[in-house]
Amino acid sequence: MSAHDKLALFGGHPAVRSDHYEMFKWPIVTEEDEAAVLAVLRSGNMSGTDVTLQFEQEFADWLKMDFALAFNTGTASIHAAMYACKIGVGDEIICPSLTYWATALQVFSLGGTPVFADVEADSLGLDPDDIEHRITERTKAIVVVHYMGYPADMDRIMEIARRHNLKVIEDVSHAQGGLYKGRKLGTIGDVGAMSLMTGKSFAIGEGGILVTNDREIYERAIAFGHYERYGAHIVSEELKPFAGLPLGGYKFRMHQMSSAVGRVQLKHYEQRIAQIDKAMNYFWDQLEDLPGIRAHRPSSGSGSSMGGWYSPHGFYVSDELGGLSITRFCEALQAEGAAGCYPGCNLPLHQHPIFHDADLYGHGKPTRIANSARDVRFEAGSLDVTEHVNVRVFAIPWFKHDKASIIDEYVQAFRKVIGHYQELLEMDPGNPQQMGKWNLSSAVISNRH
């Protein structure tokens, strides 16, 4: 066996031969971004709204929406979207447990609570078949996440929501620019809200943005956390009397250095994510015939896409590789130089004690119960797909450029590890007790620095 054929884990040559830092670096920052930031600094208008208003207009035009409203974080944009949808005391939202906490946790501060539904095994988005039986008279909205870029089944979710008179909030933090059957994500529900922080595919620093075609939702989102814009032009009669101060007691204005970067990033975004899409699809196309792994991407020809492929993952089918643990599998890939390959994704929210026993506001009982007319706590074992996902998925390299010769090295790493899986079975320590994390860490760039 030559050193090239021997697994790197056992002393062979790694399949990935160099660092390829430029392939993973994100966002792409040029002199255009630098000049835009300097202009804000020099104008002394970091806390103004002139640049932000331009960014909002351009963002709304991009998505062909009537309104866009910028925020200092994605968390704040989703919080405001919830308030805008009139979620309040005793209300329930239905959302996935398999997501980052800011899809859901803000609802506690509005006096409501999340009710978790399971996700589909293939898309990892909210399972339409697990929603309806969870709806009560207190349910106000469904919060959908296009998890790790894969569009949720919006047709079926919208149909359920309309039939039950529920609002739909799309959390687009993983999927800016992605399509569902040809339609831009974030434009299908009543309101789309999303993170624009640096780890995401639309990356501008810290920031978030909300889009909607509903004037009342837009105005309530302004009123909640944008006091300086809560003024004369507000037309909602309910909101008018309280203009001038933020109804939520929050200040959510975007820093103008972020909106300046956002304007530049937006100009190049479609073209840059098209490159990512080509690169990622090229990667998966080379691996289609291999046992043990499956792509997490919608089928070609569906009209759906992965946007900027935020935090791309693949499925692992241990049975097809003799029961090899995903932990050992990723260890071997990492040894081959595929540093970004590690097992798991988000830990399920319903397994965190904040959704069980935490009394956050001094109710004398868990907030989860205090904020609902019933005990909506989820025990372990209640969301089958969600609870078993962390041994089924692993992070894959997030290529930012369509460079076949480099991607081929990673393909080779996968081929090599899968071709030699039997050698890995011998000293397989298995998986640790806990897999996954509370957040998807942004791209691990290299283990060779």
Among 49, 73, 139, 258, interactor with ligand PLP by CB under 6 A: 73
Does 150 engage in binding with ligand PLP (CB under 6 A)? Answer: no
- Pick between residue 49 and residue 103 the one whose CB is nearest to ligand PLP: 103
Q: Please choose, from the candidates 175, 183, 92, 103, the residue with its C-alpha nearest in 3D space to the C-alpha of residue 144.
A: 103
Q: What residue spans of 5-139 are helical by DSSP H?
A: 21-24, 31-43, 50-63, 74-84
Provide the Cα torsion 325, 326, 327, 333; round to 10°: 120
C-alpha gyration radius of the chain: 23
Binding of residue 72 to ligand PLP (CB under 6 A): no
Residues 202-241: x where in contact with ligand PLP by CB under 6 A, - otherwise, as a string? ------x---------------------------------
Say how far apart CA 118 and CA 107 lie, in whole Å: 19
Q: How far is the C-alpha of 288 from the C-alpha of 437, rounded, in Å? A: 28
For ligand PLP, which residue of 145, 330, 396, 406 counts as binding (CB under 6 A)?
145
Rounded to whole angstroms, the Cα distance separating 106 from 92 reads: 12
Pattern of binders to ligand PLP over 406-425, x per CB under 6 A? --------------------
Q: 312 with 150: CB under 8 angstroms?
A: no
Q: Looking only at residues 94 through 123 of this chain, which bind ligand PLP when binding is defined by CB under 6 A?
A: 99-100, 102-103
Per rule CB under 6 A, is residue 75 in the interface with ligand PLP? yes
> Taking CB positions, which residue lies at the least distance from ligand PLP?
74
Say whether residue 192 binds ligand PLP (CB under 6 A).
no
Binding of residue 316 to ligand PLP (CB under 6 A): no
Identify which of residues 83 and 414 has a Cβ nearer to ligand PLP in the complex. Answer: 83
Q: In residues, how long is the chain?
A: 449
- Among 97, 195, 372, 386, indicate the residue that binds ligand PLP (CB under 6 A): 195
* Residue range at the interface with ligand PLP (CB under 6 A); choices 54-62, 74-82, 282-290, 360-368: 74-82
SS3 110: helix
Comparing CB distances to ligand PLP, the nearer of 112 and 125 is: 125
Residue type, 352: H
Given 106, 113, 123, 173, the residue binding ligand PLP (CB under 6 A): 173
Instruction: Please work out the total of residues on this chain that contact ligand PLP, with binding judged by CB under 6 A.
Output: 15
Q: Looking at this protein, which amino acid is placed at residue 6?
A: K
Residue 252 found at the interface with ligand PLP (CB under 6 A): no
The helix (run of H) or strand (run of E) holding residue 329 is helix 326-335
CB 332 within 8 A of CB 417: yes
How many other CB atoms are found less than 10 A from the CB of residue 132? 12
Binding of ligand PLP by 170 (CB under 6 A)? no
Beta strands 191-195 and 167-171 are parallel
**Binding site residues, ligand PLP, CB under 6 A:** 73-75, 78, 99-100, 102-103, 145, 171, 173-174, 195, 197, 208
